[in-house]
Structure 1
Amino acid sequence: MEEIKVAVIAHGLGMSRGYSGEGYVYKNIFELLKEKNINFVAVSFSKPYDTSLNSIYSLPFHLPKFDKYQRLLVYFTAKKVKPKLFFNASGILIPLSNIAPHIIYAGAPAISSVPSKYTRSLFWRLYLLPFRIIISRIKDEAKKATIIANSLYSARAIAKVFEIPQPQVIYPPVDVEFYSKAFENEDRESVFVTIARFEKGKMIENAIKFSHLSGIKGIVIGSLNDKRYYKELMRLRDRLNADIKFLPNLPREEVLKILSKAKLYFHPTIGEHFGIPIIEAMASGVVPIVPKESGGSEIVPQFSYDNLEDAVRIGKEIIEKYSNNLRKEMHEKAIMFDKNNFKEKIYDVISKYLM
């Protein structure tokens, strides 16, 4: 049997059929390894939906819940293999460095003070408490492993939490070529688009409030993960009489059509480590508004907001001043995030361990 050179830690393979932002990282890592003819195995805790992969797992069925804990439990699957390298695309410290070199591709740690659903309510703080305790006991892994951050925002948080030098930043991959198909359309409407999974952590209620306060029509697109939250959003929309549509589970081609007609993208998630949809929108010629408290603000600092009133002001200014030059500026900025750049930079890191 051919030696396994890379074990890719990808806990989310057993949680969702599609490829989310994090899942798109998995996909590009798999593509990179195939392109370089590097033998690899995908490692998850629960059974992957993608049966075409050479994979190992512990739970013989799919488990779409307990994301944070599956990131930890995947350790028990991973320790069964002896690769030349672990590439941990799940972004969590698990003690693998004693088995083989361990590269962790990570966002801001959930145990940091960065705003997220885990800092917003007593329920989520209690949910995360065992996770915090476990991570605090294996913090030394941060000094043994090689950590790569998905944004400067994440790099700062990682360095602070784990008391290590600020790690290298490699931005996540974006399918710029696909979304650039929407760029050529110059006929744009004064509407905003939000792309986010329908789950509480994405803070989609901010998009509804933005529409209500600004009077700008909106469209929210994303996979439907939490039906209860989706119903809450519909009730809030109706109560505020906001002019905003929800379009869950749209095919990519339909998403592209909507982006090709919009002027504005609104990102609602405060504390987002990066935000791949921001770059997808920019590649489409759409101008994003992003929270200052997020990785997206380092991409378009001139369009970052402190609060919703600030976002409304910026949004109205963008619509008023929207031009082909601005559209081109966003598109050109998006090109640097093309997935091939990501692959090249990641290969520069992992190749040193595979000689």
Structure 2
Amino acid sequence: MHSVIAHHFWDRPGGGELVMASIAHAMARSGYQPVLTSLSDFEPRKYLDWFGIDISSYPRISMGIKLRSFGLYMRLLVWYPVKIALRRYSPGIIFIDSPTYKPLINDLRRKNIKLFEYIHFPLDLSFRRKYASLGYYYTEDQYMAERYTRFPLNVYAWLYSKLFDKFARENPFQVSTAVLTNSHWTASIIRMAFNEDPIVLNPPLPPNSPITSNNKSFNERRPYVVMVGRYAEEKRYHWVLENIVPKLIKEVPQARVVIMGSAGTSTSESYYNYLVKTALRSGLRVGTSASHILNANVILMKNVPRREMINLLDESRVFLHATINEHWGIAVAEAMARGLPVVVHKSGGAWSDLALNGEVGLGYEGVDEAVNALAKLMTDSRAWSNYSMKSLDRVRDITFDKFIDKLAELVRKIL
């Protein structure tokens, strides 16, 4: 029997793509041949480079849409290639990670197809006015507001909110066989909206981000604070450059902040250029490659090869995550796998499920709290060793193989 793994845009190395590729492997292991559906064309072989996951043998249906800058709008049509898959493969299971599948519901019920919805974050709260009082509407939630409250993206988001209701299902618990999500933080948000609890299934570490077996000690590492993630405003790199770095280098003069991000769109390129100007305006010395580290306060690196990224993680002392209300935080998990203590904002899944509300990593809300946490881990070898060990212990429970086993067992129990 076939299973459909429906995702709107497979052609980037993001957390959603990692989860859906991992789900495809779990379905294959459970005896359900995966069929990948997408609005855009994508090259499966890239997944070996990005994550170490081979999805090249799975059939795929793509609509060939190339609106890379309109990824949010592509979600509205995620159901369309699934319709084609229903006719071509007669699947018994569908996994989907967008709520915009209303046009599928009658077919699913008529054919008794089991639907599993994986919620990275409930977009209902972001784009439906009736949930605005919960505080996560796109104009209020800091994760969304960083990106969608200024022209022209404010218009982009406003129009999307008008179209959302035409394609989105109402309550996922009323139409799906099971509702899954990435963290206990996201689960609490889902419960606020729908008054039911989803199943928490943390995303896995990618197979090509192994847990280090040779963790470098405090003294073997350099006084680098490292950040990883695409160049996008919600990552708040600008906040770090304006507020954190100037104070941190006063506390720890030898400190360096290394940011490694992907920049594959005109929007991300524009943000990257803005960051360079912001750093210079803040009086910081700026470099753009690892060779500049000794002579700069901040290194802004684009599209770093994975091997080089892992080497820099292994050389650094602390990982900083600046996003507010991050739903999960795969970059945080990857850093922990290299033995790095982490400093994250006291919100989102990175805080609840990776830092375990302060048990495993340090958290902050304001600038001074963040700087103090970074300075402590950069200068106190005993504290560093404690949190380094805790990072490694935590990520041993979210390996790729454990994710596959957990999901396969879940499907067996439900079906």
TM-score by length of 1: 0.89
Cα deviation for residue 194 of structure 1 reads 0.2
The number of residues matched between the two structures is: 345
More helix by share: 2
Choose the corresponding residue for 2:262, options 223, 227, 235.
223
**Would the aligned equivalents of 2:30 and 2:408 in 1 still touch at CA under 8 Å?**
no
Structure 2 matches for 1:278-297, cutoff 5 A?
278-297=332-351
Cα deviation for residue 103 of structure 1 reads 1.0
The answer to whether residue 365 in structure 2 is matched with residue 306 in structure 1 is yes
Greater displacement, 110-119 / 334-343:
110-119
**Would the aligned equivalents of 1:48 and 1:62 in 2 still touch at CA under 8 Å?**
no
Cα deviation for residue 141 of structure 1 reads 4.5
In the other structure, the counterpart of 1:84 is 92
Structure 2 matches for 1:190-209, cutoff 5 A?
190-209=223-242
Cα deviation for residue 285 of structure 1 reads 0.9
Cα deviation for residue 46 of structure 1 reads 1.7
How far apart, in 2, do the equivalents of 1:183 and 1:73 lie?
Answer: 46
| Structure 2 counterpart SS, 1:46 | coil
In the other structure, the counterpart of 1:238 is 280
Cα deviation for residue 37 of structure 1 reads 3.9
How far apart, in 1, do the equivalents of 2:345 and 2:207 lie?
Answer: 22
Structure 2 matches for 1:50-129, cutoff 5 A?
50=44, 52=56, 53-58=58-63, 60-82=64-86, 83-88=91-96, 90-95=97-102, 96-98=104-106, 99=108, 100-110=113-123, 111=126, 112-113=136-137, 114-118=141-145, 121-123=149-151, 124-129=153-158
| Structure 1 counterpart SS, 2:211 | helix
User: Which residue type is aligned with residue 77 of structure 2?
Assistant: L
Question: Unpaired segments of 5 or more residues in structure 1?
Answer: none
| Structure 2 counterpart SS, 1:337 | coil
How far apart, in 2, do the equivalents of 1:40 and 1:27 lie?
Answer: 10
Greater displacement, 291-300 / 257-266:
291-300
Cα deviation for residue 115 of structure 1 reads 2.4
How far apart, in 2, do the equivalents of 1:280 and 1:176 lie?
Answer: 10
How far apart, in 1, do the equivalents of 2:42 and 2:7 lie?
Answer: 9
User: Which residue type is aligned with residue 35 of structure 1?
Assistant: R
| Structure 2 counterpart SS, 1:40 | strand
Cα deviation for residue 246 of structure 1 reads 1.2
Identity of aligned pairs, percent? 20
**Would the aligned equivalents of 1:282 and 1:331 in 2 still touch at CA under 8 Å?**
yes
In the other structure, the counterpart of 2:396 is 335
Distance 1:118 1:50, change over 3 A: farther
Cα deviation for residue 76 of structure 1 reads 1.5
**Would the aligned equivalents of 1:9 and 1:87 in 2 still touch at CA under 8 Å?**
yes
TM-score by length of 2: 0.77
How far apart, in 2, do the equivalents of 1:177 and 1:148 lie?
Answer: 25
**Would the aligned equivalents of 1:7 and 1:41 in 2 still touch at CA under 8 Å?**
yes
User: Which residue type is aligned with residue 312 of structure 1?
Assistant: V
Choose the corresponding residue for 1:169, options 190, 200, 204.
200
In the other structure, the counterpart of 2:34 is 40
**Would the aligned equivalents of 2:339 and 2:391 in 1 still touch at CA under 8 Å?**
yes
The answer to whether residue 311 in structure 2 is matched with residue 261 in structure 1 is no
Distance 1:8 1:203, change over 3 A: same
How far apart, in 2, do the equivalents of 1:285 and 1:305 lie?
Answer: 20
In the other structure, the counterpart of 2:51 is none
Question: Unpaired segments of 5 or more residues in structure 2?
Answer: 46-55, 127-135, 250-254, 285-296
**Would the aligned equivalents of 2:211 and 2:396 in 1 still touch at CA under 8 Å?**
no
The answer to whether residue 271 in structure 2 is matched with residue 212 in structure 1 is no
**Would the aligned equivalents of 1:183 and 1:283 in 2 still touch at CA under 8 Å?**
no
**Would the aligned equivalents of 1:207 and 1:266 in 2 still touch at CA under 8 Å?**
no
